[in-house]
Chains A and B, each alone.
Chain A
Amino acid sequence: MRAAAAGRGLLWGLAVAVPLAFLGVFFAWPVVIMVARGFVVDGALDLSGFADVFSRPRTWRIVGLTLAQAGTATLVSVVLGVPGAYVLHRRTFPGRAAVRALVTVPFVLPTVVVGVAFRSLLVDGGPLGFLRLDGTFTAIVAALVFFNYAVVVRSVGGLWERLDPRAEQAARALGATPWRAFRTVTLPALTPAIASAASLVFLFSATAFGTVLVLGGLRFGTVETEIWVQTTQFLDLRAAAVLSVVQLVVVAAALLVAGRTRSRRERALTLSEPVATVRPLALRRPHGTPPGDGHALALGAAALTAGVVVLLALPLVNLVARSLRTPDGWGLDHYAALAAPADTLGVTPLEAAVTSVRVAVDATLIALVVGGLVALVVSRRPRRAVGRRAVAGLDALFMLPLGVSAVTVGFGFLLSLHQPFGLDVDLRTSPVLVPVAQAVVAVPLVVRTVLPVLRAVDPRLREAAATLGAAPGRVLATVDLPLAVRSLGLAVGFAFAASLGEFGATSFLVRPDRPTLPVVVFRLIGRPGEASYGTALAASVLLAVLTAGIVAACERLRAGSPGGDW
């Protein structure tokens, strides 16, 4: 008995230690070193930077703008995303899989490309130029919603499609209107997923960098863009360190609020197979059903979602259209150029696409192992309060990589990974670092996908297995794994897609001599000549198609299984 307990302890110890070590070496340590650089002057701690930075009116304006941009974008994403989740996950219609894949594409497009796609729509004389939105707050919020709509649709939709419909049916039977039943029964049940999605959207928006720079010009900025300017342009590490702390506080507060909202609602759910809840979407009221059955509500949601999808598609269509435009009319010239060696790049865009896929494979494998272990640990509900708090803390800890500046992490790598721990390897220039950096970003996505499923596992199942004599490893293998594996398809898809499109961290690493596709896009776009610009756009379309394809394939993998948190 005692040996079994010790074995169990060792196992859980490992499950906690491996992810912590990973996060420690590749995230926390570099960030701490980088921030410390800003606070330690000549060997002594110097916190005067706080007073200095906070006395600048610009700092307050930037903090205010960050909160306003991220807050508004989160609100709009949720308001649009919840009906979207209903239509895309609770209803079926022809082409649903394609629409689902389409709304995911923006999430992984490199920001340089989104900037082009958006700005050429909004610029004076552009297709939407009459709206006079170029360089406005509205344009930034629109772009942030463009990126994050899929996050809400997936988080909320994943839960919604397996929500037991009987509670709502009971409310309706007792005379509640469809709207009232939704408000009092369904919405509260969805709250954990909505809170979870909102916190992700807020994190992504508050740390948005390229989009805000391209669309906002100088008038708008985030703490993230300010850290970038202070670090890369001014080398004012003190100001950057203060701002990093500010960012960390904002992010931690957001996570705390989301965590509270989530856990308060999390338990009282009865889940069922999606097959039982998903119904076809019909434009006409099904024959024989009375008015007031919620058909109008469903149609309203469908109309809204159709509108949103059209708006999401506009920049994408614009991108494709521009990639097809050649000096002599329309043609596939830029696509042909993808296979041609763009002489000084050293690789063709197609080769870069292969590199991207290979790097993404490694990043995904790392993220799955680390994220899977975290999800496993965090899914436990220890009896003691201390244990519960530790578990919640661990959960929040692994969300932080989404909320800390890529510049801080990137520069931190430079400072911390030269012969780490006295080992004679220079990790800074090692090709291993690229997938590792991407995995750091993908881990939170894996956790958020797998965790809800593991949490939904009835602990009594595990207890029963243990009582019947199964060793802890066996319990995991026979109870948790089979259930979790069904959400892995989705996790693989997202980790893979996020890694394919990842640019922020990758661009700071010193080893892109075998560049990934987003890096090639960035380099091509910075060269003179319409040909390289066109090739950059074609390469972006290739990236989008690759991403959509992979997400769609992973949707198939998990067909019929409960989705995750997002």
Chain B
Amino acid sequence: MASLSRRTAPALAPLAALTLALAGCSAIGGGEAAPTSSGDPARTTVTLVTHDSFGLSDGLIETFEQQTGMTVEIVQPGDAGALVNQLVLTKDAPLGDLVFGIDNTFASRAVEEGVVESFTPDVPAAEDAAQYAVEGSDALTAIDFGDVCLNVDHAWFTEHGVAEPATLDDLTRPEYKDLLVVPSAVTSSPGLAFLLATVGAKGEDGWEAYWQALVANGVKVSEGWSDAYYTDFSGGGGDGPRPVVLSYASSPPFTVPEGGEEPTTGALLDTCFRQVEYAGVLTGAANPEGARQLLTFLLSDEVQADIPTSMYMYPVSSAVDLPEEWARWAPLAQEPFEVAPADVDAHREEWLATWSEIVAG
């Protein structure tokens, strides 16, 4: 006995101390904010289900909370694609009251599965939003949009004495061999958007041949946007080898060097696909009224004006001003390529399977 305790004491003491110290900063034990107001929590809390990239500038959500007396909870269960599928799976017991971030490549699925319910907000911006409405349904309200476009590194092209490409077809020409990197359409939503741009440009019969030409011309496929932009792209700060990357029309303003005047990159506006992000009241929401108020708030001038700086998208509202650099350096495409959401939903798997075969060889 004695010898055992003598041997263990030195081992036990620091362990016990550690346990005590650690228990002091436990998360479960450490004051979880309980709803302070009395009354039905379903009515005083509104839960927003959204994707990884959601965020608003400090104070905006608080403004809404002060105006309505409700508490906003935000849950973010994954990227845009996973989000819709999770909502479909949990249809009978929704994860929250309002969803934000369903894009036009998944909108049809959300509507058809009945994940969201009919609602039209009563604010001026609703009219602007209406032009992006999903055909045959008013369950989703457009909040913001953006163009997914090829970006070029100006410096690289100047240095190598090569003219910058301008169109999708240019990328299949010999002088642009091995210069393009795009994220995978299977694992990244901008990647899928670019695949759809090519479907929109070349038609359902022509896009496969186009991709075969891209592959023959040495297109590189990376896993996600950040991988392509920061590792493979020469203008993303990582000094990668490729001067053409798939990104957004809004990316160039972020490459204005400190103290500089102009961005070092530019978007090719004839290569774009327009992504629209929607919000909708979840079917079976515990607090549908709160969801409607929050959705209406997302279309308010305050939030709409904040969207470029916080979520890097363009507001649907025509009443708010864009940040100055955006107005100068991030123009939108005049004629982005389009594919109807219903078509996307009907063919997504087939297109992705074919695309994988073409690209993986």
Q: Interface of A with B (CB < 8 Å)? A: 37, 112, 115-116, 119-120, 123-125, 129, 213-214, 217-219, 229, 231-236, 322, 327-328, 341, 343-346, 354-355, 357-359, 361-362, 364-365, 411, 414-415, 418-419, 426, 428-429, 431-432, 434-435, 478-479, 481-482, 485-486, 488-489, 492, 507-513, 522-523, 525-530, 533, 557-558, 561
Contact = CB atoms under 8 A, between A and B. Distances in A.
Q: How large is the interface on B (under 10, 10 to 19, 20 to 34, 35 or more residues)?
A: 35 or more
Nearest to B257: A327
A482 B225 CA distance: 52
A510 B49 contact: yes
A411 B312 contact: no
14 contacts: A120-B238, A214-B222, A219-B360, A322-B238, A365-B22, A414-B95, A429-B75, A482-B4, A508-B77, A512-B76, A513-B73, A526-B53, A528-B248, A533-B237
Contact of B227 (A115, A125, A492): A115
B73 A361 contact: no
Contacts of A526: 52-53, 224-226
B95 A429 contact: yes
B312 A233 contact: no
B290 to A, nearest CB: 15
Nearest to B30: A358
A177 B230 CA distance: 53
Given A218-B186, A344-B311, A525-B226, A355 B27 contact: yes
Given A231-B85, A358-B26, A557-B14, A529 B47 contact: no
A234 B353 CA distance: 11
B227 A523 contact: no
Contact of A428 (B79, B95, B258): B95
Interface stretch (B5-13, B193-201, B270-278, B297-305): B5-13
B68 interface: no
Given A232-B82, A529-B254, A214 B223 contact: yes
Contact of B57 (A129, A343, A481, A510): A343
A44 to B, nearest CB: 19
Interface in B31-58: 32, 47, 49, 52-53, 55-58
Contact of A485 (B12, B28, B250, B359): B12
A457 B359 CA distance: 57
Contact of B184 (A217, A327, A511): A217
A531 to B, nearest CB: 9
A359 B221 contact: no
User: 8 closest pairs, A vs B, by CB?
Assistant: A344-B55, A358-B27, A482-B8, A124-B241, A232-B82, A510-B75, A530-B237, A529-B254
A525 B55 CA distance: 15
B204 interface: no
B222 A435 contact: no
B81 A233 contact: yes
Given A233-B186, A429-B47, A510-B95, A414 B8 contact: no
Interface stretch (B86-94, B169-177, B336-344): B86-94
A355 B49 CA distance: 21
Given A217-B223, A489-B11, A116 B230 contact: yes
A125 B240 contact: yes
Contact of B7 (A37, A355, A482, A557): A482
B357 to A, nearest CB: 9
B187 A229 contact: yes
Interface in B194-240: 221-227, 230-232, 236-240
A508 B27 contact: no
If over half of A's interface residues share one DSSP class (helix, strand or loop), that class is named, otherwise mixed; here it is: helix
Contacts of A429: 47, 73, 75, 95-96
A344 B11 contact: no
Contacts of A123: 231-232, 240-241
A327 B258 CA distance: 7
B294 to A, nearest CB: 15
Contacts of A327: 257-258
Contacts of A489: 11, 15
A344 B257 CA distance: 23
A231 B187 CA distance: 12
A147 B190 CA distance: 29
Given A219-B360, A508-B78, A513-B75, A523 B53 contact: yes
A213 B183 CA distance: 11
A236 B89 CA distance: 11
A217 B15 CA distance: 44
A414 B86 contact: yes
B1 interface: yes
A343 B27 contact: no
Given A344-B311, A510-B49, A528 B250 contact: yes
Contact of B349 (A236, A341, A355, A507): A236
Contacts of B93: 418-419, 426
B346 interface: no
Interface in B286-343: 310-312
B28 A362 contact: yes
Contacts of A120: 230-231, 238, 240
Given A214-B223, A341-B58, A513-B75, A415 B89 contact: yes
B361 interface: yes
A435 B312 CA distance: 32
A318 B146 CA distance: 34
Contacts of B312: 527-528
Nearest to B353: A58
A116 B231 contact: yes
Contact of A365 (B11, B26, B73): B26
Given A411-B86, A414-B89, A528-B248, 4 more contacts: A229-B186, A232-B78, A361-B22, A513-B75
B241 A486 contact: no
A478 B89 contact: no
B251 interface: yes
Given A232-B81, A528-B250, A218 B226 contact: no
B118 interface: no
Contacts of A530: 236-237, 254-255
A360 B119 CA distance: 42
Nearest to A322: B238
B356 interface: yes
Contacts of B56: 344
Contacts of B19: 365
B25 interface: yes
Contacts of A358: 25-27, 30
